[in-house]
Amino acid sequence: MSVPLAFRLMEPGEEARVSDLATRVFNEFIAPDYSVEGVQEFLRYVRPEPIAQRAQADHFVLLAVAGAELAGVIELREWNHISLLFVDQPYLRQGIARQLVQRSLEICRSQRPDPAEITVNSSPYAVPIYVKLGFEPVGAEQTRNGIRFVPMKMTVSPRTRATAG
């Protein structure tokens, strides 16, 4: 019997859980393709203190929670850029990343009605995942501070109004 998922915004004090999940998944799937500089840069970015600072500034963090377990996390900057998206290994291939993207888009729309696009700088490992989620590459692979990424975007359709029928 599977535990139903709940989606909610990160609360103050949960930054360490978010950091632990992102670090575990990064180390397993992404770090092997990164330089030492890139790994160190990422690990600095996902420390609990910077997550808390970003959440108080121009980012929000949405969690997918299964009972007491943190199944997945997405962080968005300025209502239009995914800066983190991770799903814990036991919860892969269950549509959690898609749900996180869709639910975060609704949060974005509550702040900025009808955003034109959502962007992400995807690790090379995650490009096929983002393509399945509706993103497309908009440039070649780049490296910044050792972080390898492919710039991608998803065009967001304007919200349609229900019509009486």
- Encode pLDDT of 127-141 as tens digits: 999 999 999 999 999
Mean pLDDT over 41-61 rounds to 96
CB 5 within 8 A of CB 57: no
The mean pLDDT of 39-56, rounded to a whole number, is 97
What's the full length of the chain, in residues? 165
C-alpha 117/C-alpha 72 separation (Å) is 22
Q: Is the pLDDT of residue 162 over 80?
A: no
pLDDT over threshold 90, residue 159: no
| pLDDT per position as a tens digit, 85-129 | 999 999 999 999 999 999 999 998 888 877 789 999 999 999 999
Cβ distance 150 to 124 under 8 Å?
yes
List the structure tokens of 39.
């790994």
For residue 28, the one-letter residue type is E
User: Domains in the chain, please, with CATH?
Assistant: 5-155 (3.40.630.30)
**Averaged pLDDT score across all residues of the chain:** 92
Can you give the pTM of this predicted structure? 0.91
Residue type, 101: V
Name, in order, each residue with C-beta under 8 angstroms of 19's C-beta and a sequence gap of 6 or more: 46, 47, 48, 51
Apex CA 52: angle with CA 50 and CA 54, to 5°?
Answer: 70
pLDDT (mean) for 30-59 = 96
At 16 the pLDDT is: 98
